Amino acid sequence: MITLQRVAKAAGKHLTRMVLRARKAMGARANRGCPACGRTVVGFFRYGDNAEWGCPECGASPRERLMNWLIDEGRLRMPVDGAVLHMAPNEGSLVRRFSAARDYVPADLDPSRYPVPGVRRVDLMELAEEGRYDLFYASHVLEHVPDDRAVLRNILRALRPGGEAWLIVPLWDRPTEDGSFAMPPRERERRFGQWDHVRQYGPDLADRIRAAGFDLEEIDASSIDPDVAHFYALGDRLFRARKPS
Ligand SMILES: [Zn+2]
């Protein structure tokens, strides 16, 4: 379902991206950087309310840049010798990094949406693997699943002891509001920002993650050195959930 609002947002995104690339080509000072593609940029393009959303070179979002920065800094460790389940693998820089793992599994409920080699169908509601993965990554996925508490338990089971789930969701600062697929799509779009979202998360997602049995560390971009966060235009919050050993 495509609404006028989303078309306008997408058009604005392409326009500001073109302007930024033209400015760089004309010699504007590129004094910002993108940790997803490693290039210098003159700024980031707008998307919706976020004036510094995308990298004009590679398109990386604030959350994609945050993940790359945390990995580069060594604050997150890539399990190169391990197994990685990468849901909704649409962030190219992370596909490149995660696919270096010995056992890389890119997956989605609808794998046809992702031009990633070997992408397979995984329904998180049905995920029944046990103790296989060292890392589970899902950015903007949990707000799509019918029962996130069940999915969090499935993720916990699928991880090896000590394995980690790196979770990012759209957040507001109010408590989480749950919906369902029984609601009309238009109502989901109005309440949760997108027709295929069934809830809007607040900071209390942390409670749901802990209730599933994880240890949790939250890494919010606002806790990073402001000069660094500004340079890379980092944003978003990572819920770093660890399966106890
Ligand atoms: Zn980039």
Sketch out the chain's domains with CATH numbers: 1-60 (no CATH), 77-242 (3.40.50.150)
Please, which residues have CB less than 5 A from ligand 1, an ion?
34, 36-37, 55, 57-58, 60
What's the 151 CA to ligand 1 centre distance in angstroms? 31
d(CA 191, CA 197): 9
Predicted model pTM: 0.92
d(CA 201, CA 174): 8
Sequence-separated (6 or more) residues with CB below 8 Å from residue 41: 20, 24, 30, 32, 33, 34, 55, 56, 57
What's the 42 CA to ligand 1 centre distance in angstroms? 11
What's the 20 CA to ligand 1 centre distance in angstroms? 12
What's the 129 CA to ligand 1 centre distance in angstroms? 34
Strands 103-108 and 83-87, sheet pairing = parallel
What is the pLDDT, as a whole number, of residue 1? 55
What's the 213 CA to ligand 1 centre distance in angstroms? 35
What's the 93 CA to ligand 1 centre distance in angstroms? 9
Average pLDDT, the chain: 94
What's the 59 CA to ligand 1 centre distance in angstroms? 6
What's the 238 CA to ligand 1 centre distance in angstroms? 19
What's the 4 CA to ligand 1 centre distance in angstroms? 28
- Give residue-wise pLDDT tens across range 38-77: 999 999 999 988 999 999 999 999 999 999 999 999 999 9
- When pLDDT is averaged across residues 4-9 and rounded to a whole number, the result is 76
d(CA 56, CA 45): 6
What's the 53 CA to ligand 1 centre distance in angstroms? 11
pLDDT band at 22 (very low <50, low <70, confident <90, very high): confident
What's the 241 CA to ligand 1 centre distance in angstroms? 27
What's the 56 CA to ligand 1 centre distance in angstroms? 7
Q: What spatial distance separates the first Cα and last Cα of the chain, rounded to whole Å? A: 43
d(CA 229, CA 46): 17
- State both tokens at 134: 């060292």
Higher per-residue confidence, 196 vs 16: 196
